[in-house]
Structure formats: structure tokens, C-alpha cells
Amino acid sequence: MTTLDRLKTGTSGAVVSIDGDDAIARRLNDLGFWPGTHVELVRKAPLGDPIEFSLRGYRLALRKQEARRVMIEAPT
Amino acid sequence: MTSAVTVALVGRQNSGKTSVLMHLTDTAQHPVNFPGSSVERVEAMAHVDGTTLRVVDLPGIGSLEPLSPDEHVTLSWLREAHDALVIVVADASKLSVELGLVRSVMGLGRPMVVALTKVDQAPAFVDRDALQAELGVPVVVVNALAGTGIDVLGQALVALARTRTKPAAPTFDPDALARRVTTTIPTKARRSLTDRLDKVLLHRVLGLPILALLMVGIFEVLFVGAQPLMDLIDAGQHALGAWVGDAIAPGALQSFVVDGLINGVGSVLVFIPQIFFLMLFVSLLEASGYMARAAFLLDRVLSRVGLSGRSFVPLVSSFACAVPGILATRMIDDERERIATIVVAPLMSCSARLPVYVVLIGAFFPPAEAGLVLFAMYALGIVVAAVTAFVLRRTRLRGQHSTLMMELPTYQRPSLRVVWAQVGSALKAFIVMAGTVIVSAAVVIWALSYYPRPTEIHERYEAARALTSGEAALGELDAAERAEYLGQSALSTIGKAIQPVFAPAGFDWRTTVGVLASFPARELIIPTMGVLYSLGDVDPGSYDVASLDASDTGGLRAKLQEAKNEDGTAAWNPVIALSVMVFFALCSQCAATLGAIRRETRSRKWPAFVFIYMTVLAWVAAVAVYQGGRLLGLTA
């Protein structure tokens, strides 16, 4: 298991859980980071942060800080 | 309006909610809503088959779990509005996520309808009938861009208002339901267009240069493209002033109308072309989907000082004029970050500061240093803004947790209806403010500079004129008369009384008067000093970078270079010029900006804060420059 921010560009993983139970965690849940969801790291911004992800048919930018909260099953 | 049925409009940013509102309510009072930016509820009326609907647009929310104080306010209202019907605007291209929101809203137990948008963009075919059957609430497919399906939505609302059918408690799993009602189809044309564009626009190396080029292009249009229109307004103002000047006999009334009213209104209207173009570009960039990319590219830099990528466009816009820059902060969804951006936006060196820099740099710095000094003035504003934002975000405007969770929407053709409405609303806001705040400020300054008006001065100059011949000599006498009147006016009495405050910064009483006169609008310093240094009329509209060496500013420059104090020493030197420029770079001298801040923060506290911190900072910095220069022996 690893965290979302550690995916390599172009690879994807499946969400296992979200760390914590605060507003950020709930917002990540609202955005569709549910267990089993496939998330691809599309690209990092030129300065390394934030990161663009693809999930559930749409694209989302998250800062590393938030991406770290999403635990994923590492790509095989 | 007791018979109106309240309808709450709920949906995420980019879901097409604003377009749904605008198509549903044709005669919208407040047709523009910037999702997530305002506690203020936007309401508009819709009339469908004889039923009046009061549509309340709630800022873009993705769930019923409040993350910010604003969302808390919105959600409390929704929870307490028991009579309200609810429309949930759901983007079909990410149906599973949207069904999570639908489920939360169903939990409230209000009669509701789901408006399904972007069906044509979805990578999968959505079976509306199946979705409606599974949810047990009406599902209407709407095209937010074209407005098709809006009539069906209206009829569904009217039917709901009659039956008030409440949804059953939701038990479905959003993910599973989304899978049941969609059939994947192979074409993903639009998404792949977006992917191809993003490969270039968000490229690791090319992304930032492309953004920079785009901004340079926009600025080019703002400064060059808007210029003919600005000249036209300027010419119109002068023509009107001349015509009214001929129509009214010389005296207080003529001066009030021409110098006070027409000048006051004109000096504000002249900014309309720039505001129009800027808001047009901001609106187009937002609607096309590029704005989210700009935020993505620059978030890292701005997050260092407690702002985010979303602050970028408002701040860049403020280099042209802080007013549209402040209006553009409506795109920022975090209220504290938005206020921090508003508070530092006026520190960006706007186009009205340029005349001051141009005159003073030209008079006191060799051409080789001109560019560097000009650049230093812009850099000063940026550095002070960064520090101010940094401090504010760690004190008064500390957020719970600065985040960026932003959808990068599919690129699309902007809805002209939404773009025009946004541009129109910004222009209307500016004109209303210009008509009130700025005109009253201009009139007050005019009155202070016109009165008292002893006839003795006029009689003395009339006598002198009788003994003089020649256009030039008569012109000089007129200018000297104006200068003498101004010299004994209430404004200059106040200026002389206040001068000790500015003495540590090296300002003489004339500069002090100029500074005081330019509090309503900083570009007023040029004509005021022109009169004070007995030059007569200097048009503030005729300066730009290109005229750094132009002869039309030569007169005031020469006068400043030659000006003497009462003890015979030179009134100006490069250190004083720098001190005055630093003062103008930092000081809050713009009634329009303060008015915009008041309107956008809905408080008197923030404009007051901005006025005080900028003015104090400007004074401290000007004193530091002058005293520093003196210690280094540069003032001799």
C-alpha cells in the first residue's frame, strides 16, 4: 500500500481508504475517492505541485498534501 | 410575492449550474453567480405556466458537508428552507460522483428534480428513464449551453410545486447505480481533444511560457487595443467640457460643472474600455476551462504566501486596474483567500500610477536608469503584496487549512450568454460606483481647491492683463492667477497645515497638496502639481510608457527641476522623486478601488483596513527612502 502522491506519472492505483475523518477527508470522499476507485496520476505541474489525477471520468488537481491522504493499492 | 415557489439550485462548480439558472430565469435581476464565492444568495424569478418560481442559486457545493464558513451558511439556509423545492444540477460525464451529491440532497427529504447536464460530453450513454426509475425523482436532460430541456425542467418544477412529492430515503450505492444506468460508448472525442490541448498547455517546460505569452498578449490588448477607445472618451469629455464651458458663464457654476463633475466622471469613465476587455478575457478564460489550468500551473508559487493558483488572474489584472482585478476575485472559492487577494491587489502597480512614474523618472533620472527605476517600482508592489499576504494568512485571515481541490474541466466553447452577463455585471458595478463614490470625492476635492475665492486676486490680474499684450504673456498671467487662487484655497491651507507630516519624506507643501488632491484618484497628482508649479493645465490622460521622453511632459518636468523652496534651495532632487514614487507605489489613492473592496467584501472594515495599511506603509517607506538618501548624502 502506498499514497496517491507517490504514483508515477501515467500509472494508476485503486483507492483503499482515506486517512483521517476531517473536512478534507470528507471532501475527498465527495470527490469520488471511494474504495476500489481507479485513479491515474496524469501529470505534475511544472513546479512539481499540484498534481493532476484522473478518476471517474474527470480530471482533478490536488496538492501533494491532500493526495497524501489517499491510501492506494500500488500498481502491479 | 407570496405566491412564488422557492426553488434552491444546488450543484458543483463547472456543472453548468450558472447556465441553467440563466436559461431558467429569463428576466434575472442578478443573472451572475460565481459559484462558491459569496455568502450572498443570488435570487432570480422564473415564470412557468403561470407559476412564479423564486430560484435561489446556492454557491457551488459538492456535498452537504460544509468545508468553509460560507458553505456552512448556505447549507444551514438549505436545511431550514422547508418549503423549498430543490434542483440538483449533475454533470453526466462524472455521474457516479454526482450521484453522491444527489443522495445527500435526497436525504433532506425535499421535493426535488435532477437536471442532467453535459450528456453529450459524457464518455458513456446515460439512460435517463432508468435513472429516473431508480432514483424515484424526476430526471431532466438539459443542454446548459443551448438551453434545450430547460422548458421541461420548468414544467417538472411546476408539477412538483403542486404535488410536493418527497423522495424516498436513498439507499442506493452511487457507484453501482451509475454503472447500472450507463452504457459505455467507445468515442471520447472531446476528452481526447482536452488531453491533446493539455499535453501542450500544461507541458512541464512549455506550460509556463505559454501562460506568460497569453498574459502578455492580453496586456497588449488592454493597453494598446483599449487606447483608441480611451482617447475617444477623453476627447468626448474635453469636447463636452468645452461646450459646457461656452454655455455657462465663467464662475463657480462653470468650474463646478467642468472641473468638478465632467472631469470627475470622465476620469473614471476613461477606464471602462480596459475594464471591459479585461473582464471579457477573464470571463472567456474561465468559461473555456483554461483558468483552472492557469491556477494549476501557478499554484505552487502562490501557495508560498498563503494564496493559491486562483489568485493569479485577479493579481495580474490589477496591473491594469485594481477594480476589475478585485471583481475577478469572485472566481476564488475560499473566502479568506479571496479577501487576502483583494487586500493585496491594489499594491500591483496599476496604469494610473504610470503617469507619476513617467514624469518623475524623466525629470530626475538619466535615461539609462529609467527602465530600472520603473521596474523597481513594479517589483516593490509585488514584494510588499507577497509579504502582506503572507502575514495576513498567518494572522487575521488564517484558514483552517489551505487546500486546492479543483476540477480541470473539459475545454469547451464559452457560453456567450454567461460571458456577456459577467462582463455586463462588472461594468454595471463599476459605473454605479463611479456615479456615486468617485463623483462625490471629485466634487469635494474640487470645492476645496476652488474656495475661498476672493475677488481681490481676480481684480489684480485683470489690471495686469489690461497692461499686457501677446498670447503667451496673457497665458502666463492666467496660469499665475490659477496658481494664486489654488495657493490660497482651502486645499492648500490644509496642505500647508499637513505638510509637517510629509516633511520627513521630503515633500514640500505643493507636493503635499498634490498627494492630498490625488486621494480620490492618484492620477490627479499631475494636473494638481501642474497648477501648483504654475504650469496651467496638464492633461493626465496623455502619458504612457512610450512618451517617457515625449516633449508634452517636458514642461512639468522642467518646472519640477527648477522649482525652489522659499529659502532658495532646490525643491526637488532624485531622492525626493524616488520618495514620492515609492509613496505612490504603495499608497491607497483610489476611491474606485476602495468602493470595489467595500462592494466585494460587503464590509466597511476591509476598505478601511486597506486604506490605512497602504497609506501608513507608503508614508513609512517614503520616509525611509528620503532619510536613507539624506544619510548617504544623496540629497545635496
pLDDT of B36 higher than 60: no
Picking from A36, A50, A60, the nearest residue to B407 by CB comes out as: A60
In terms of average pLDDT, the best of B33-47, B233-247, B348-362 is B233-247
Pairing outcome for strands A12-18 and B124-126 = unpaired
CA dihedral (B231, B232, B235, B240) positive or negative: negative
Q: Say whether B357 sits in a helix, a strand or coil.
A: helix
The count of other CB atoms within 10 Å of the CB of residue B545 is 13
pLDDT of B2 higher than 60: no
| Interface contact A46, partner B, CB < 8 A | yes
* CA separation, residue B625 to residues B238, B467, B504, B561, B615 (Å): 38, 47, 10, 19, 15
Q: If pLDDT is split at 50, 70 and 90, which confidence band does B342 have?
A: very high
Mean predicted lDDT score pLDDT of chain B: 82
d(CA B95, CA B233): 50
Interface test with A, best of B404, B410, B411, B412 (most A CBs within 10 A): B404
Element at B359 (helix H, strand E): helix B354-364
**Any idea of the CA torsion for B389, B391, B393, B397, to the nearest 10 degrees?**
-100
pLDDT mean over B452-466: 87
| Interface contact A63, partner B, CB < 8 A | yes
CA dihedral (B182, B186, B192, B195) positive or negative: positive
Rounded to 5°, angle at Cα B411 from B409 and B416: 105
pLDDT of B91 higher than 70: yes
DSSP string of B535-568, one letter each residue: -----GGG--GGGTT-GGGHHHHHHHHH-B-TTS
Higher pLDDT, B474 or B425: B474
pLDDT at B606: 94
Reported as a single tens digit per residue, the pLDDT across B526-540 is 767 766 665 444 444
For residues B334 and B404, is the Cβ–Cβ distance under 8 A? no
In this prediction the pTM is 0.76
pLDDT mean over B512-519: 85
Contact residues, A window 3-22, toward B, CB-based 8 Å cutoff: none
pLDDT mean over B8-15: 84
For residues A42 and A4, is the Cβ–Cβ distance under 8 A? no
- What phi and psi values does residue B486 have, to the nearest 5 degrees? -65, -35
Cell output for B476: 502666463
Of B123, B120, B160, B161, which Cα lies nearest the Cα of B141? B120
Interface test with A, best of B93, B120, B405, B408 (most A CBs within 10 A): B405
Reported as a single tens digit per residue, the pLDDT across B45-58 is 888 888 888 888 87
Q: Which of B27-41, B53-67, B562-576 has the lowest mean pLDDT?
A: B27-41
pLDDT mean over B75-92: 87
Picking from A37, A48, A61, the nearest residue to B296 by CB comes out as: A61
pLDDT at B86: 94
Picking from B66, B97, B404, the nearest residue to A61 by CB comes out as: B404
pLDDT mean over B65-69: 64
Q: Which of B144-158, B390-404, B554-568 has the lowest mean pLDDT?
A: B554-568
For residues B591 and B437, is the Cβ–Cβ distance under 8 A? yes
pLDDT at B400: 59
d(CA B300, CA B312): 11
Q: Which residues, at least 6 apart from B603, have a Cβ–Cβ distance to it below 8 Å?
A: none
Picking from A23, A45, A62, the nearest residue to B65 by CB comes out as: A23
pLDDT at B113: 95
pLDDT at B514: 84
Domain at A2-73: CATH code: 2.30.30.90
Q: Which residues, at least 6 apart from B342, have a Cβ–Cβ distance to it below 8 Å?
A: B314, B326, B329, B597, B600, B601, B606, B610
Q: What residue spans of B136-226 are helical by DSSP H?
A: 150-163, 174-181, 189-201, 207-220
**Class of residue B3 by CB neighbours under 10 A (exposed 0-12, middle 13-18, buried 19+):** exposed
Of B363, B329, B366, B365, which Cα lies nearest the Cα of B345? B329
| Interface contact A72, partner B, CB < 8 A | no
The count of other CB atoms within 10 Å of the CB of residue B221 is 14
Higher pLDDT, B113 or B372: B113
Q: If pLDDT is split at 50, 70 and 90, which confidence band does B71 have?
A: low
Rounded to a whole number of angstroms, the distance from the CA of A76 to the nearest CA of chain B is 24
pLDDT mean over A3-27: 91
Q: If pLDDT is split at 50, 70 and 90, which confidence band does A22 have?
A: confident
Percent of chain B at pLDDT above 90? 23
* CA separation, residue A62 to residues A4, A28, A67, B223, B579 (Å): 10, 10, 6, 35, 44
pLDDT mean over B390-398: 87
Q: Which of A30-44, B516-530, B568-582 has the lowest mean pLDDT?
A: B516-530
pLDDT at B543: 39
pLDDT at B329: 83
Q: Which residues, at least 6 apart from B214, have a Cβ–Cβ distance to it below 8 Å?
A: none
pLDDT of B30 higher than 80: no
Residue found under cell 412564479:
B52
DSSP string of B485-553, one letter each residue: HHHTSHHHHHHHHHHHHHGGGT--HHHHHHHHHTSSBGGGHHHHHHHHTT-----GGG--GGGTT-GGG
Q: If pLDDT is split at 50, 70 and 90, which confidence band does B32 have?
A: very low
Q: If pLDDT is split at 50, 70 and 90, which confidence band does B37 have?
A: very low
Rounded to 5°, angle at Cα B190 from B187 and B192: 80
pLDDT mean over B392-420: 81
The reply to whether residue B204 touches residue A43, judged by beta carbons under 8 angstroms, is yes
pLDDT at B521: 79
d(CA B139, CA A34): 25
pLDDT at B416: 82
Higher pLDDT, B18 or B596: B596
For residues B311 and B334, is the Cβ–Cβ distance under 8 A? no
Higher pLDDT, A75 or B522: B522
Of B482, B479, B511, B476, which Cα lies nearest the Cα of B496? B511
d(CA B616, CA B318): 21
Question: Is the predicted ipTM greater than 0.85, yes or no?
Answer: yes
Cell output for A16: 483503499
